[in-house]
Structure 1
Amino acid sequence: MKIIIQNMVSRRCKMMVKSELDKLGIVYTSIELGEVRLAQPISENIKLKLQEALHRSGLELLYDKRAELIERIISIIVEMIHYSKEVPEVNFSTLLSDRLKKNYHYLAEIFSKTKGITIEHFIILHKVEKIKELILYGELNLTEISYQLHYSSVSHLSRQFKQVTGLTPTFFKKLPLRKRTNLEDL
C-alpha cells in the first residue's frame, strides 16, 4: 500500500515521517519524498492518528488523485535538483512523463491550475535556491555550479538568478546576510 504525503520535501521531513510511523507501529518498506510504501494496509483508526501526527508537523495525507499527482511532480523535481548527483539524460518534461506515465502537457496543465505557477517556473525557483545554497557553501565556483545544475552557460545561470532574485550571483555572494527560502515555502 502506498500513501502520499503533502509538503514532504526534505530529508528532515522524511525523518519526522519515519519517527511518526515508528511511534504508531506502522510497518513500511520505503520512505521517499512525498511517498511512503507500507508493508500492509492500515486501519482507518491508525490512518487518522497518522494524519493528526503529520498535520502537527505541517504535513498532510493526500486522498485526492490530482493532489497526489501534484505532490509526486514536486517530489521528483525536488529530488532531482536538491538531492540527486546523477546527471539526467533527458529534460525535466520527459523525466516527469516517464516517471509518472502521463503526458507532459496533461501534467503541466494540472500543475498550473493547482499551484498557479508553471512547472518550468517552479523548476527555476528550485534551481535558484540550489544556486544560493551552493554559493553559501563556497566550495564551487559559478562555472562548476552551472555545470552541476545543467545550465548551458554561466551567463544563462546568471540571467535566471537575476530574474528571480534581482541580484547577480556575484553580488549575492558578497552580501553579509544572504537569505534562502525554505523548500517547503517555494
Structure 2
Amino acid sequence: MIIKEIIVVEGKDDTVAIKRAVNADTIETNGSAVNQQTIEKIRLAQEVRGVIIFTDPDYPGERIRHIVSEAVPGCKHAFLPKTEAIAKKGKGLGVEHASIEAIREALRSVQQEMEELVTEISFQDLVDAGLIGGSQAKERREKLGLLLKIGYTNGKQLHKRLKMFKISQAAFAEALKEVIQGDYQK
C-alpha cells in the first residue's frame, strides 16, 4: 500500500511502525511541543503532497493533532482506536504498538478535514442522543467515534469533528442507531 501524502507522526517509533505497514514518508513532531520549524515542514508537505495526521489516541496525540490542524488547514486525519494501540504487555499506548493491519485500516479510513465547518447536526442533537451528559455519554461517544472513524472526543470536540469531516445527518443517524442497539444488547 503506497500513501502519496506525508504522514505526521509523534516520533521515530511511529515512523518505523508506519513504514512496516505501508510505503510512506513521515514528519515527526518529536512530542507535543510542536515547534515552528516542524509546522513549516508540514505546511510545505501539505502544499506539495498533502498531509495525513496520524497521532496516538491519547491526550498528547490529540493535542498535537489540534496544533497541526489549526496551523495547517485542510489536513486529512487517520484515527487509531485505543484498543488497537495498546502495547502487548499493557504498558504504553500509541501508533508504534499497533498491528500492521490496524495501521493500514486507519489509513484506508482517512477523513478529510473541511475548511468550511458546516453540519446539519446540532449540539442539541448530541444532547438528545445521549452523547453529552448522562451516564452512558462517554461510552456512546467512544463507539460513535469508532463507527464514524473520527476518533474518541469529548462532547464539544465531537460536534466540531462532525462539522470538520462533514458527517451527514444520515451517516450520523445510522451510526447512532448501531450504538444504541449495542446498548440494549448488553
Q: Which has the higher helix share?
A: 1
TM-score, normalised on structure 2?
0.30
Which structure is larger by alpha-carbon Rg, 1 or 2? 1
TM-score, normalised on structure 1?
0.30
